[in-house]
Structure 1
Amino acid sequence: MQGVARNFFGLAIIYALCGMALGLHMSITHDHGQMPVHAHTMVAGWLMSAVFAFFYHLFPAVAAQRLATVHFWLSAVSGIGLLVGLYFLLGGNAAVEPLVAISSIGFYASMLLFVFVAMPVFRRA
């Protein structure tokens, strides 16, 4: 695995470790107030990043495109901003709501960019 595929898979591993650590923390403390953050970390972070990694691994010509690198950075920055912001928002800090909103839009934009990058592969098949 190389390039963007490797970057996405490394990010997926980090998301998985963070999501699982948060899940363990909630279980140990019996405080499940951060369940939405845990779910977003595991699905939007771990699962989506792993899927992106395997897509780019399977289609190295697509991974070599500049848009694939843009996709990685948009996904990484907005995803981390979303999860950190959501953690503090659910912890009672309403001031981070704009960060959550902007990061959510950025993360959605990264998915739209992935659709734009991936659709030609499906059209050829």
Structure 2
Amino acid sequence: MERVSYARILVEVDASKKLVDHVEFILPNGVTRKQPVVYEYTPKFCSTCKRFGHLKESCQPPAAIATATVTAAAPSNVNDAATKTAEPKKAQPTEWTVVRRRQRTNLKQQPAKGTDA
């Protein structure tokens, strides 16, 4: 039996933090080892909008949303909401959004088109 010269592992990391270039671990005999980390692929990540797919230099923030102000005098029985300034929408989210992959339907169990099931 041949011994492999490397180990491949999958590790989930926090995308908001910098990727490490090494990991340290302690062997059963108490010796501490420093192991370099090699990434097969590192996606482009924008630190401005916190999204993958582009870099900070090419980030295009969404256009500013104009706010409208109602200045007409309102009768006393009109809802106060009509006289307030419109709230601008948030341009960037402040929290991370967890996105999950949609479940695939089992195509083998569905009848083929044009046939009676």
Give the TM-score of the pair, scaled to structure 1.
0.22
Larger Rg: 2
Give the TM-score of the pair, scaled to structure 2.
0.23
